[in-house]
Chains A and B, each alone.
Chain A
Amino acid sequence: MIKAILIFNNHGKPRLSKFYQRYSEDIQQQIIRETFHLVSKRDENVCNFLEGGLLIGGSDNKLIYRHYATLYFVFCVDSSESELGILDLIQVFVETLDKCFENVCELDLIFHVDKAGLAGAPARAVSAVKNMNLPEIPRNINIGDISIKVPNLPSFK
């Protein structure tokens, strides 16, 4: 089961996070910090799996991450998930983002957080069902686009 999806940049600033268990704000921050420390000190040419962050789920959990340009995509999962499977799921997630934004970059996530979140929601649905139906995802997002438009106010930028 996927416990959390964290996206943060090279400096550990969270860009998108979704926890599938309830944690208080402080703990969430702490988890992100700890994860960032674990992930950021690893070289480029090492494996994408990590074990034993103590915060989420104890010893059973694994961190599976990918590093794209300035962003780290980290999935916290428990032992019932296949490592490589999740690794590809991240790939799918990023591909989806890419389709949404046409050449996605960190700024997209900052300024179109609503879209990213919506893209994340189907990805989670995918992870839950793993009904890999790639063409379906962007379609879902289009529905999302119709229903919610972030108010284009200067105060939000």
Chain B
Amino acid sequence: MKECMVRLIYCEMLGYESSFGYIHAIKLAQQGNLLEKRVGYLAVSLFLHENHELLLLLVNTVVKDLQSTNLVEVCMALTVVSQIFPREMIPAVLPLIEDKLQHSKEIIRRKAVQALYKFYLIAPNQVQHIHDKFRKALCDRDVGVMAASLHIYLQMIKENSSGYKDLTESFVTILKQVVGGKLPIDFNYHSVPAPWLQIQLLRILGLLGKDDPRTSELMYDVLDESLRRAEINHNITYAILFECVQTIYTIHPKPDLLEKAAKCIGKFVLSPKINLKYLGLKALTYVIQQDPNLALQHQMTIIECLDHPDPIIKRETLELLYRITNGQNVTVIVQKMLDYLKQSKEEYTIINLVSKIAELAEKYAPANEWFIQTMNAVFSIGGDVMHPDIPNNFLRLLAEGFDDEKEDEQLRLYAVQSYLGLLEEEDAVYPQKFLQVMSWVLGEYSYIINDEGDPEVIMTRLCKLLKKTFVTSETKAWIMAAITKIASLNRGSKTVDKLIQEFSTSLDTCMRQYAFELKHLCEDKDLMKNLLPRDASCNDMVVDASLSFLDGFVAEGLSRGAAPYKPHHQRQEEKLSQEKALNFEPYGLSLSSSMSSSGFTGRQSPTGLSFGSDVSGNSTEMGQKEMSSLKLDGVKKLWGKDGYLPKKESKTGKEDKLEAVPPGSTLGGNMVDHPLSEADQEVVSPSEEEKEKQQLASTLFVGLASNNAVSLMGKADTTTQKFKRKSKISETQNSEEAPSIQYDATLSFRPLPEAQSNDNENIQSTEHVRLRKSSLSSSEVLEASVSFKRPQSLTEAGLDAKLPDCRLSPSSLFADNNIEVFQPSQVIPSVVASKASLIPSLSEELANNPHSEAVELCSCDTLAVNLCKVWTDDCLLLVLFVANRSSSALKNVNLVFENSEHFKIVEGLSYHFPVIKAQSLESCQKSVQMEKNCMQEILVGSLNYQLEMETGLEFSVTLSLTDFIRWLIFHLIQMANEH
């Protein structure tokens, strides 16, 4: 059996199907002698994976072996548990493994810790209760166990560093011991004591000391020590050094350590070993935000790295430069990036770099021409793999412009010119995204150059594009939209006529659609002008997502006897139920079932979608029922059943356009090295003189030299954008556009905040909206000119696709129900409220008594205790407010006063809060009486609570004689008031 299993492993390894033997592996692990068991376990761990169903069969075996007295069996079981174990079976073995933590053999303890680490990774909440056992493992006398527990701690500290601050000292001690060579000699690697352990400890310390001066304080010494010790010239010591440096720069800074770390980085960067150079650059990139001067020191090295033959080094250098970019050096840096981009072939690199360039260009662009040129390069190289945000942002920038009208105009003019130039080249192949951007810009802004350029020329060029084979249908839709826009600005053009002729017979239904739309628009110029106003891309369109303007039409249709619309699923349901009815109970059931199903739809109608209320309510009960289902989507119904309506056509148009909008189709567009007309004077060729390098350095680091921290910070927060986006003002455009639009007044509502938010989705949605507007209104046009009818079959899918549209403009839906939406303001009161909840205030009946101000007695990160003295008729009432400042609920909070000979606390000395919720306040009252007379005495108390561990807070209250003489106080207060 054993032999067979080994062969099976061999087969599996070679890639042959061997799943038939899995069960035997489990059996072998279950039954065999020690040797066979081992083979069985090995086979299981190789064959099965985490979620394999057969793994459940193994659980029993594991449990049995864990209880075994044979050390080897326990070991094997623990090993397999730490490799693969089903998550849901953890509780079955957890107690056994916990026991193993106390085992006398260190190897068992170590394996148990590893198994628990595995559990922590797959189900962290299951091992929460054994955190203190981890602590024990950390202090284990065997180094292996301790090292294994570090993994758990690294993971836990990564998730929540604040909870383990108290362990800092232990980690520091361990690191000290390791560095000091206290470990057994076995752990030395090339005479460095346990280097991997050191690396891990340094990482943990870095995480713990981040932004925490007090904790950082503890580790300065040991860091210094490690830096000093790691002097031997070996790879692994460099690894430790690197970690040290990183830790030093992560924790709260200490000047002389920083200095040493900087020296280390210098060593790395200048090292002839390429790996070290790479790490040095990485460290520099990491450090640069804190200490730009360091980059200045190494600027010559950085310049050299820019021309390094290794592309990885180059990329790291660019990453570094990206961090130090500012308004002054942006041209050079972007140029460098573009150069690199042109050489690189990897998709990952391109995506990454393209978005960086676009960001930099947008932020720091020194001139319009440069900006457009750069973006052209980005589009042509980045092409179809780049993130869809980039073209969207770019177009938005163009459309919304800056604050300065004139500048906008120039930018647009330049964009149009450059695109025309690009299109002039006959054989150039551009990525689809780029073509889309071009056609949009030309469509919107070509009128700017009308003085010098002929719209005919532009249109001809666009038409030519349409005929090219590499243009996808999505892009064609963009181009057609552009042509329509241009055509609207000019009286009759031959090109347009030709285009219409050509595409009216096109096989592509989309194109035919556009051609017809265009044709009808051309026939009615006034309408076209209204529909496609100049430079209106920023005006928000109001889209009546509920299509309520069709209500009248629906009502008419119904009155003519058309059947009410039923959604697809309902129709199917009915069909089914009818079939059933035919089979079993021909008449009665079919009626009732259809009734019930119509009632059903009425009930589940999406809240926002009900409209056409004018129709309902004036018919018989049965009719009403029908109406209610009609209300839900009466419009769709008409389309659905009959399909004779011209509106349908608009519908498809809309869908096509919608289809066209979502970016991200990555259809094969070839990349083109687009010639940059801008002379790149500053490019350094390897052969160039040192002098020129220095010049380059000076241009690169120009902003840094002046220690321009602001521009560096500007990197992190995007406030210093050069192109400030204008906040959009939503404009309600209503029915003037076309005679047949029946916008409800309530519908033309678009809350300002939504339009203003910079959210991408909104950008997209506004784009949708914009596009939709044209198609929507075109449908209205068609409705107006009734002469035009085109019977077309309807697809259900098309109707369903309408729902997402509705979601895009939720505001109009809400408005439909006359619900006013105020989105952003609601947030503020809740914040205020949460703050207010932590401010102690007396309940009303207590507040009527004379009382002191609430005074803070003591506080820590999680809790604060406030005291308020209330003088009631018969005693002194101490009201204690315990506020939980943390974000988690505190349980079992105990408040205890110490016994005092002078005072007596009536209700007993202690008070117990079962739970204090996060960010909330609890109060308790204690009435105090004076037992022995005294002038002034201190009442001491303490507060205990349990978070990760027992924590106590002490406080004291000074009570004086006057506190107990109520009337005196009362008088005093009154007197004070009188004065």
Contact = CB atoms under 8 A, between A and B. Distances in A.
Interface of A: 22, 25, 42-43, 45-54, 59, 80, 82-85, 87-89, 91-92, 113-114, 117, 128-136, 147-151, 156
Given A134-B189, A147-B38, A148-B42, A128 B151 contact: yes
Interface string B1-44: 00100110010010100000000000000000001001100100
Interface in B148-186: 148, 151, 154, 158, 186
Interface residues of B, number: 54
A85 B195 contact: yes
B235 A88 contact: yes
Interface stretch (B273-281, B431-439, B730-738, B912-920): B273-281
A78 to B, nearest CB: 12
Contacts of B42: 148
A131 B200 CA distance: 11
A16 to B, nearest CB: 9
Contacts of A43: 309-310
Contacts of B236: 84-85, 88
Main SS class of interface, B: helix
A150 B10 contact: yes
B275 A129 contact: no
Contacts of B235: 84, 87-88, 91
A59 B348 contact: yes
A130 B243 CA distance: 16
Given A84-B239, A150-B10, 7 more contacts: A22-B49, A22-B51, A59-B352, A82-B242, A84-B235, A134-B186, A147-B38
A83 B197 contact: no
A52 B348 contact: yes
B275 A47 contact: yes
9 contacts: A51-B312, A80-B154, A82-B239, A83-B278, A85-B239, A132-B197, A147-B38, A147-B39, A151-B6
B851 to A, nearest CB: 55
A105 to B, nearest CB: 20
B187 interface: yes
Interface string B329-359: 0000000000000000011110010000000
A46 B186 contact: no
A46 B274 contact: yes
B275 A84 contact: yes
A25 B278 CA distance: 34
A89 B194 CA distance: 12
A69 B203 CA distance: 34
A154 to B, nearest CB: 13
Contacts of A150: 6, 10
B307 to A, nearest CB: 14
A87 B234 CA distance: 12
B144 A131 contact: yes
Nearest to B274: A47
Contacts of B38: 147
B186 A133 contact: yes
Interface string B238-262: 1100110000000000000000000
A81 B366 CA distance: 41
Contacts of B521: none
Given A147-B35, A151-B6, A131 B312 contact: no
B147 interface: yes
B110 interface: yes
Given A88-B235, A131-B147, A132-B187, A46 B197 contact: no
B239 A148 contact: no
Contacts of A148: 6, 39, 42
B277 A47 contact: yes
Most buried by B among A45, A88, A117: A88
Given A45-B274, A83-B279, A87-B275, A132 B195 contact: yes
Contacts of B638: none
B578 interface: no
A93 B892 CA distance: 52
A46 B310 contact: yes
B767 to A, nearest CB: 28
B197 A130 contact: yes
Contacts of B6: 114, 148-151
Given A84-B236, A147-B39, A48 B346 contact: no
Contact of A129 (B39, B49, B110): B110
Contact of B196 (A50, A59, A130): A130
B242 A47 contact: no
Given A22-B50, A46-B309, A132 B189 contact: yes
A93 B267 CA distance: 28
A43 B197 CA distance: 32
B108 to A, nearest CB: 14
Contacts of B194: 130-132
Given A54-B347, A88-B235, A133 B187 contact: yes
Nearest to A84: B239
A151 B349 CA distance: 47
Nearest to B51: A22
B515 interface: no
Contacts of B200: 130
Given A47-B277, A130-B197, A88 B239 contact: yes
Nearest to B238: A84
Contacts of B187: 131-133
Contacts of B313: 46-47
Nearest to A17: B13
A54 B147 contact: no
Contacts of B554: none
A52 B10 contact: no
A48 B279 CA distance: 11
A87 B275 CA distance: 10
A13 to B, nearest CB: 13
B199 A82 contact: yes
B905 interface: no
A4 to B, nearest CB: 14
B73 to A, nearest CB: 14
A148 B38 CA distance: 9
Nearest to B158: A80
Contacts of B312: 46-47, 49-51
B462 interface: no
A56 B111 CA distance: 28
Contacts of A92: 189
Contacts of A129: 110, 114, 144, 147-148, 151
Nearest to A19: B49
Contacts of B349: 52
Nearest to B278: A47
Contacts of B275: 47-49, 83-84, 87
Contacts of A136: 186
Contacts of A113: 10, 13
B143 interface: yes
B7 to A, nearest CB: 6
A91 B236 CA distance: 11
A44 B194 CA distance: 30
Contact of B242 (A84, A91, A114, A133): A84
A46 B6 CA distance: 41
B39 to A, nearest CB: 6
A-B interface, 10 closest residue pairs, ranked by CB to CB distance from nearest: A84-B239, A130-B196, A46-B310, A52-B348, A22-B49, A47-B274, A47-B278, A85-B239, A131-B144, A47-B275
B143 A131 contact: yes
Contacts of A48: 275
Contact of B352 (A49, A52, A117): A52
A116 B310 CA distance: 33
A37 to B, nearest CB: 10
A15 to B, nearest CB: 11
A25 B348 contact: no
B2 to A, nearest CB: 8
A100 B42 CA distance: 20
Contacts of A83: 239, 242, 275, 278-279
A134 B147 CA distance: 15
A90 to B, nearest CB: 11
